[in-house]
Amino acid sequence: MADAEQPQIYLISPPEFDLGTYPEVLKAVLDAREIACVRLALASRDEDRLCRAADAVREVCHQADVALVIDSHILLAERMGLDGVHLTDGARSVRKARKQLGADAIVGAHCGASRHDGMNAGEAGADYISLGPVGATALADGEQAEFELFEWWSQMIELPVVAEGGLDADLVAKLAPVTDFFGVGDEIWSDDDPANALRSLLAPLG
């Protein structure tokens, strides 16, 4: 449950990156701020590409003692020795992922702006849910997860929640009291210095 403690940072990889340079960029970001978890969120469906990316990112994360989960691919999470999986279909695959990966794996679920999906994911065994986007976006149907949803969740539900999508410093300041994690991705990777962009984004947290 969100409380007086500051939210932790949950880093989301770009949908595409250069394997030759990204690991060093990621290392710089992990050195700049304490990160709780990294999500490998490549848009690619190419198995070889995903495996090579997972290898490269896992090495950086584990050297920094940071957990690494992968979007959607339950079997790859198991095969590549990752810490878990982030599901993008709400509660639908949570039980399957938990059965496949075991009790110790991290299983998270993105639930859009749906309180109902979030609660179902928790009941199915998710370790956390993510809600978003929290900021303006033209992606999907544009529906945003509003402050009131996080406020309700923080008061009523103990399952950790991630606020992600369209974050800016104002939203970080507003949502900090009612979320457990900030999911940070596109907000920093387009910057020439992602580590500095992360510092600026999180400036309201001190």
- Give the chain as a 3 state SS string: CCCCCCCEEEEECCCCCCCCCHHHHHHHHHHHCCCCEEEECCCCCCHHHHHHHHHHHHHHHHHCCCEEEEECCHHHHHHCCCCEEEECCCCCCHHHHHHHHCCCCEEEEECCCCHHHHHHHHHHCCCEEEECCCCCCCCCCCCCCCHHHHHHHHHHCCCCEEEECCCCHHHHHHHHHHCCEEEECHHHHCCCCHHHHHHHHCHHHC
In a domain, 111, yes or no: yes
Q: Is residue 54 part of a domain?
A: yes
Q: Which pLDDT score, from 0 to 100, does residue 139 have?
A: 59
Euclidean distance between the first and the last CA atom of the chain, given in angstroms as a whole number: 21
Say how many C-beta atoms besides its own lie within 10 A of residue 2's C-beta.
Answer: 23
Angle between helix 115-124 and helix 94-101 axes, rounded to 10 deg = 30
Structure tokens at 79: 């095969």
User: In terms of residue numbers, what domain contains 33?
Assistant: 8-205
> What per-residue confidence (pLDDT) applies to 41?
97
Q: What is the CATH number of the domain that holds 115?
A: 3.20.20.70
Give the pLDDT confidence score for residue 138 in this predicted structure.
Answer: 62
> What is the predicted pLDDT for the residue at 141?
66
Counting the structural domains of the chain, the total is: 1
Burial tier of 104 (Cβ tally within 10 Å: 0-12, 13-18, 19+): exposed
- For residue 2, being part of any structural domain is answered with no
- pLDDT for position 1: 35
Task: Look at residue 3 and tell me if it is in a domain.
Answer: no
Note whether residue 76 is domain-resident. yes
Q: What is the pLDDT of residue 72?
A: 95
Rounded distance, CA 102 to CA 150, Å? 29
Residuewise pLDDT in 10s, the chain (206 residues): 344 589 999 999 999 999 999 999 999 999 999 999 999 999 999 999 999 999 999 999 999 999 999 999 999 999 999 999 999 999 999 999 999 999 999 999 999 999 999 999 999 999 999 999 999 876 556 689 999 999 999 999 999 999 999 999 999 999 999 999 999 999 999 999 999 999 999 999 98
Any domain includes 145: yes
pTM of the model as a whole: 0.95
Does 100 reside within a domain?
yes
pLDDT for residue 140: 57
Would residue 143 count as lying in a domain? Answer: yes
Predicted confidence at residue 100, as pLDDT, reads 96
> What pLDDT does residue 196 have?
97
